[in-house]
Amino acid sequence: HIIAEAQKRGGTAAFIDAEHALDITYARRLGVKTEELLISQPDYGEQALDIADLLVRSNAVDIVVIDSVAALIPQAELEGEMGETQVGGQARLMSHALRKLTGTIHKSNTAVVFINQIRMKIGVTGYGSPETTTGGNALKFYASTRMDIRRIQTLKDKEEVYGSRCRVKVVKNKVAPPFREAQFDILYGTGISREGEIIDMGVDMNIVDKSGAWFAYGSERLGQGKENVRAFLLEHPDIRQQIEEKIYQHLGLGQAQETDVQGQ
């Protein structure tokens, strides 16, 4: 989504696919112009971070996304035996790379996004969170903004699962107040639901009326149940645009941008 938004504003994006798991078809559904996207699938961690450094130094790209930190395996570990232990190799790699990257990023106009995964600490009981992220502490220290995103609910239509309700919490922020939270829906196959956001924010701001399971906008009845309202807004982009503009006005952000019928 962040790459699609950057491209929509005329920016150039790069995706470093360390996991070798990029789904081009799904990316297109999210609105990514894959023919304009710079894609790299490096063989090992050092190569991935060198590519990121070169892209940032060039100042030719607006955003670089690295997916993911867990897949940035040091070359020595890849070339070693399967059962051979390499203690702290990934943490040392990240620490060394970020010392170089931080200054380079500061001098450029490029945003660098690292996607990471949660792991459980071994032997932690009692006080403190048992959760940690891969790659050591360097990324936590150098990052300007850290966001914790996790699924809080499964979205179902009867027995069919069609998406997830997610919560994002800003756990670190050097550029704005931290610890803010937001919730949104991710629909399988289409990504973050813009219509779901409009419904939630419309209800919170009393722009959309909710009575039991029914939703209404002024004299217009939108439907019963959030999924039916989501479908209604997709079929009636004029009403969606009106609600969206009122949300923007309520937030003091000016006019809403036109979006296509899928809300991308």
| pLDDT tens per residue across span 25-54 | 999 999 999 999 999 999 999 999 999 999
- In terms of average pLDDT, the best of 12-16, 78-82, 124-128, 258-262 is 12-16
pLDDT of 121: 80
Query: Which pTM value belongs to this model?
Result: 0.88
Segments of the chain assigned to CATH 3.40.50.300? 1-143
Provide the pLDDT for residue 140: 95
Predicted confidence (pLDDT) at residue 258 exceeds the cutoff of 60: no
Average pLDDT in the 213-236 region? 95
Burial group, residue 126, by CB count within 10 angstroms (0-12, 13-18, 19+):
exposed
Q: Which numeric CATH code is attached to 194-264? A: 3.30.250.10
Instruction: Report angle CA 147, 148, 153 to the nearest 5 degrees.
Output: 135
When pLDDT is averaged across residues 149-161 and rounded to a whole number, the result is: 93
Determine the average pLDDT of the residues in 67-86.
85
User: What pLDDT score does 85 carry?
Assistant: 65
**Level-2 CATH architecture, domain 1-143:** 3-Layer(aba) Sandwich (3.40)
How would you class 47 by CB atoms within 10 Å of its CB: exposed for 0-12, middle for 13-18, buried for 19 or more?
middle
Predicted confidence band of residue 162 (pLDDT cuts 50, 70, 90): very high
How many residues would you count in the chain? Answer: 264
- Residue 182, judged by CB atoms within 10 A of its CB (0-12, 13-18, 19+), counts as middle
Q: What is the pLDDT of residue 262?
A: 44
Query: Amino acid letter at 4?
Result: A
Predicted pLDDT of residue 127: 74
Predicted pLDDT at 81: 75
pLDDT of amino acid 255 = 62
* Overall average pLDDT of the 147-161 stretch: 93
Over the stretch 189-208, which tens digit does the pLDDT of each residue have? 999 999 999 999 999 999 99
Look over the chain and give the mean of its residue pLDDT values, rounded to a whole number: 92
Q: Give the whole-angstrom CA distance, residue 215 versus residue 208.
A: 7
In this structure, of 15-29, 72-86, 119-133, the range with the lowest mean pLDDT score is: 119-133
Asked whether the predicted pLDDT for residue 231 surpasses 90, the reply is yes
User: Residue 227's pLDDT is what?
Assistant: 92
Confidence check: pLDDT of 145 > 60: yes
Residues of the chain with CATH 3.30.250.10: 194-264
